[in-house]
């Protein structure tokens, strides 16, 4: 059997792995940065372009893919002159992924004291560190978990 499974417009690189499928859908940096900016209020093409510095042709492609993959919705703005993009539920569900990437970056991609943006809650407080837990609430990591094939 072929290593790649084709479904609609997505080629699955590892058909049984949820991590691989997620990366196949939104794994490139531009797509994740667009999702990040949508979470921070970007709605129009120019919003995304100004915040990311992405080339117009790449932005057009990534927005189209994110709409096709039900991560963003596209609507005509009230003015009728431009398109606006909003996160779908699937897009909003990526919040924990974006926070986990941010927190990893805070720990590993900056020197101590180096300037960086900070994600805060509605009260202005930084978020607690995301940590996976088991069904009883105990912390887990790669040493205390394994992948089980459920098919």
32 φ, ψ (degrees, to nearest 5) = -65, -35
pTM of the model: 0.88
In this predicted model, what pLDDT tens digit does every residue of 25-71 receive, in sequence order?
998 999 999 999 999 999 999 999 999 999 999 999 999 999 999 99
Q: Domains in the chain, please, with CATH?
A: 18-109 (1.10.10.10)
Q: How many CA atoms, within 13 angstroms, populate the side-chain half-sphere of residue 119?
A: 19
Q: Where are the beta strands (DSSP E) in the chain?
A: 5-7, 10-12, 72-76, 83-87
pLDDT bracket for residue 3 (50, 70, 90)? very low
């Amino acid at each position: 059997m072929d290593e790649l499974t084709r479904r609609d417009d997505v080629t699955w690189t590892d058909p049984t792995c949820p991590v691989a499928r997620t990366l196949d859908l939104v794994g490139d940096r531009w797509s994740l940065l667009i999702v990040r900016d949508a979470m921070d209020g970007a709605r129009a093409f120019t919003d995304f372009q100004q915040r990311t510095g992405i080339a117009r042709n790449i932005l057009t492609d990534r927005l189209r893919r994110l709409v096709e993959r039900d991560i963003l919705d596209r609507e005509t703005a009230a003015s009728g002159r431009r398109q606006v993009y909003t996160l779908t539920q699937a897009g909003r569900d990526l919040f924990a992924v974006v926070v986990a990437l941010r927190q990893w970056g805070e720990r590993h991609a900056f020197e101590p004291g180096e300037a960086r943006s900070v994600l805060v809650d509605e009260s202005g407080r930084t978020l607690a560190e995301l940590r996976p837990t088991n069904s009883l609430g105990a912390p887990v990591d790669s040493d205390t978990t394994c992948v089980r094939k459920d098919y």
